[in-house]
């Protein structure tokens, strides 16, 4: 199974999600989107696959979203996409793509919705929280 994670190594949720993927025996393709940036088409594809709007995916904490006026409800999806391409940090993370779907993995355990964990088990996050890793609905 090929899995891709759009990752920010400075983000605890992103680091936890990456390790959750690895704990299932998968070494994902890691894209550090703050280095590579985004294209408009890429964002549209990811958001559509995850059932998100650009506003749903807008990261407002620790970003210039507020100062750029992007939290105003009158800002259009097109304007948000333009800003996200110009400022990659505005996209919430991590976004994970697998053959089973696309998820914005907040909280990180959402990644298990699109993976095939090997039976029930547990994973301990960086903060000490333990989550069940068994596949949901399998």
Going residue by residue through the chain (138 aa), what tens digit of pLDDT does each one get? Answer: 899 999 999 999 999 999 999 988 899 999 999 999 999 999 999 999 999 999 999 999 999 999 999 999 999 999 999 999 999 999 999 999 999 999 999 999 999 999 986 655 788 888 888 888 764 443
75 located within any domain: yes
138 located within any domain: no
62 located within any domain: yes
Q: In whole angstroms, how far apart are CA 75 and each of 54, 55, 63, 85?
A: 10, 9, 16, 15
Instruction: Supply the pLDDT for residue 136.
Output: 47
Domain count, the chain: 1
32 located within any domain: yes
Question: Catalytic one among 3, 5, 11, 114?
Answer: 11
pTM for this entry: 0.90
64 located within any domain: yes
CATH classification at residue 85: 3.40.30.10
What is the extent of the structural domain holding 89? 4-132
Q: Is 105 a catalytic residue?
A: no
Closest C-alpha to 91, from 110, 70, 107 = 70
137 located within any domain: no
Paired tokens of 78: 């097109």
């Amino acid at each position: 199974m090929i899995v891709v994670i759009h990752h920010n190594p400075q983000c605890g949720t992103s680091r936890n999600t990456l390790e959750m993927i690895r704990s299932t025996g998968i070494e994902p393709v890691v894209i550090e989107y703050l280095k590579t940036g985004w294209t408009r088409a890429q964002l549209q594809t990811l958001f559509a696959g995850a059932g998100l709007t650009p506003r749903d995916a807008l990261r407002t904490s620790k970003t210039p979203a507020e100062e750029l006026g992007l939290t105003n409800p009158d800002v259009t999806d097109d304007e948000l996409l333009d800003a996200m391409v110009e400022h990659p940090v505005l996209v919430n993370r991590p976004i994970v793509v697998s053959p089973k779907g696309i998820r914005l993995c907040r909280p990180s355990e959402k990644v298990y919705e699109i993976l095939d964990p090997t039976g029930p088990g547990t994973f301990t996050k960086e903060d000490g929280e333990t989550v069940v890793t068994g596949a949901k609905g399998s």
